[in-house]
């Protein structure tokens, strides 16, 4: 049979040809099971090129979705979804929010850009909500959906305080960023971080990244950008409601809501006891009321 | 429902790429109603068996929904 030459290409990765511990060369960190890895996204150097979105779609074989015009400026993907695991948020602002206010005209730097992603929470609410155990913590302290276990119940979707997890209506299962679990297992840096031309997305061990991020905030403060702060490190916005810290955290220069991030995210499981207590109290109150009416009738 | 014949060259979760005899690649997502599991896709990729995929358009996606995969029992070019 005459087959197209492309069909003869080697479609299976030749692992012997992969540089061992490549992440050490590209991100300055060795990927070792048992340690915590994550992303530090410095939004002040994001240029909105969307290389991270493309790299994510390419590596993970994800289709383009949300077709058509969003009507929101340069934002073509709109939001994170089952098929978009990286989303560059474009925020158009009046003024400069204090950044280079004396150096440039406001219309020249009125953009905030942020590459959003699954936060890989330390105490992940999606994992707590999953009844089948499909969501699990990997050996790299990241949160991944195991597709053959997921039954598509969707409990993880409302449990996520960041609105990250989504169901794909075609296969009926939950999908989200895996922090390139397959690449980590091969000693590679995640695709989005590797493709970022300005190092806005930095990959590494979470503790190292947190120290690097604090240093960056100090530098920005020294340069006059007093609005810079971290979102998702311990004792900061984003790391609230027993979430611990976020594996993927951010350096922001405006309020979290501006970036479509919750100011004080919480675990859904924190609300179970109060909800149950409220329900029981309501039943008790209604029973007392009914007993009172019955007593009056007699 | 449309049909394509080719070999699976990429498989990840429920997504796979089918390359037909003309060398045209198409991305599919295994439908929830298909009698196959995502775990079976890597084996199809490894064996490079020719398959026929019956598909429907996936709403709001540049991908097709694979409703049925039929093995044609014919090894591809690089089959071991």
Contacts A11 to B, Cβ<8 Å: 9-10, 45, 48, 78
pTM for the whole thing? 0.86
Query: Which residues lie across from A136 on neighbouring strands?
Result: A144
Separation CA B48–CA A132 (nearest Å): 32
How many pairs of residues across A and B have Cβ atoms under 8 Å apart?
92
- For chain B, say whether A14 makes contact (Cβ under 8 Å): no
DSSP character at residue A246? B
Which residue is associated with the tokens 């019955």? A294
Query: Which member of A1, A170, A173 has the closest CB to residue B58?
Result: A170
Over the range A51-71, which residues count as b (16 or more CB within 10 Å of their CB) and which as e? bbbebbbebbbbbbbbeeeee
- For chain B, say whether A3 makes contact (Cβ under 8 Å): yes
Contacts B25 to A, Cβ<8 Å: 6
Does B74 have pLDDT greater than 70?
no
Separation CA A33–CA A46 (nearest Å): 30
Query: Which member of A12, A61, A83 has the closest CB to residue B12?
Result: A61
Separation CA A120–CA A132 (nearest Å): 19
The model's confidence at residue B5, banded by pLDDT at 50, 70 and 90, is very high
Cβ pair B33, B66 in contact under 8 A:
no
Instruction: Find, in chain A, the residue whose alpha carbon is nearest to that of B10.
Output: A11
- Taking Cα atoms as reference points, which of A113, A151, A155 lies closest to residue A130? A155
Contacts B15 to A, Cβ<8 Å: 60-63
Tell if the CB–CB gap between B77 and A66 is shorter than 8 Å.
no
- For chain A, say whether B80 makes contact (Cβ under 8 Å): no
Within 87-116 of A, beta carbons closer than 8 Å to B belong to none
pLDDT in tens, chain A (298 residues): 455 555 555 555 555 667 888 999 999 999 999 999 999 999 999 999 999 999 999 999 999 987 888 777 678 888 999 999 999 999 887 665 555 656 655 555 578 899 999 999 999 999 999 999 999 999 999 999 999 899 999 999 999 999 999 999 999 999 999 999 999 999 999 999 999 999 999 999 999 999 999 999 999 999 988 999 999 999 899 988 889 999 999 999 999 999 999 999 999 888 889 999 999 999 999 999 999 999 988 7
- For chain B, say whether A172 makes contact (Cβ under 8 Å): yes
Tell if the CB–CB gap between B23 and A7 is shorter than 8 Å.
yes
Separation CA A240–CA A262 (nearest Å): 10
What sections of A141-205 are H helices per DSSP? 156-159, 181-185, 191-195
Does B15 have pLDDT greater than 80?
yes
pLDDT of amino acid A212: 96
Cβ pair A57, A65 in contact under 8 A:
no
């Amino acid at each position: 049979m005459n087959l197209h030459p492309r069909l003869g290409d080697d479609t299976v990765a030749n692992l012997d040809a992969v540089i061992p511990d490549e992440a050490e060369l590209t991100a300055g960190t060795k990927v070792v099971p048992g340690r915590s890895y994550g992303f530090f996204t410095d939004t002040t150097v994001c240029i909105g090129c969307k290389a991270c979105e493309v790299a994510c779609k390419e590596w993970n074989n994800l289709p383009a979705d949300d077709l058509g015009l969003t009507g929101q400026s340069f934002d073509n993907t709109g939001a994170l979804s089952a098929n978009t695991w990286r989303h560059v948020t474009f925020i158009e602002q009046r003024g400069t929010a204090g950044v280079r206010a004396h150096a440039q005209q406001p219309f020249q730097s009125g953009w905030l850009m942020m590459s959003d992603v699954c936060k890989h929470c330390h105490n992940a609410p999606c994992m707590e909500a999953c009844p089948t155990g499909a969501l699990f913590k990997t050996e790299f302290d990241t949160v991944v959906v195991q597709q053959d276990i997921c039954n598509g119940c969707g409990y993880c979707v409302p449990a996520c305080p960041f609105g990250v997890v989504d169901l794909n209506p075609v296969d009926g299962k939950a999908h989200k960023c895996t922090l390139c679990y397959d690449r980590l297992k091969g000693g590679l840096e995640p695709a989005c971080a590797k493709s970022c031309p300005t190092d806005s997305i930095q990959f590494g061990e979470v503790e190292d990244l947190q120290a690097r991020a604090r240093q960056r905030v100090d530098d920005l403060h020294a340069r006059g950008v007093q609005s810079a702060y971290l979102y998702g490190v311990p004792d900061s916005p984003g790391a609230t409601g027993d979430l611990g810290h976020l594996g993927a955290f951010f350096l922001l220069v405006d309020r979290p809501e501006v970036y479509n991030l919750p100011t004080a995210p919480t675990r859904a499981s924190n609300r179970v006891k109060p909800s149950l207590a409220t329900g029981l109290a309501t039943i008790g109150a209604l029973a007392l009321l009914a007993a009172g009416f019955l007593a009056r009738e007699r | 429902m449309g049909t394509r014949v080719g070999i699976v060259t990429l498989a990840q979760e429920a997504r796979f790429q089918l390359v037909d005899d003309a060398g045209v690649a198409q991305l599919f997502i295994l439908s929830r109603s298909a009698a196959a599991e995502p775990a079976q896709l890597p084996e199809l990729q490894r064996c490079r068996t020719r398959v026929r995929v019956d598909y429907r358009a996936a709403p709001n996606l540049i991908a097709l929904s694979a409703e049925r995969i039929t093995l044609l029992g014919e090894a591809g070019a690089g089959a071991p």
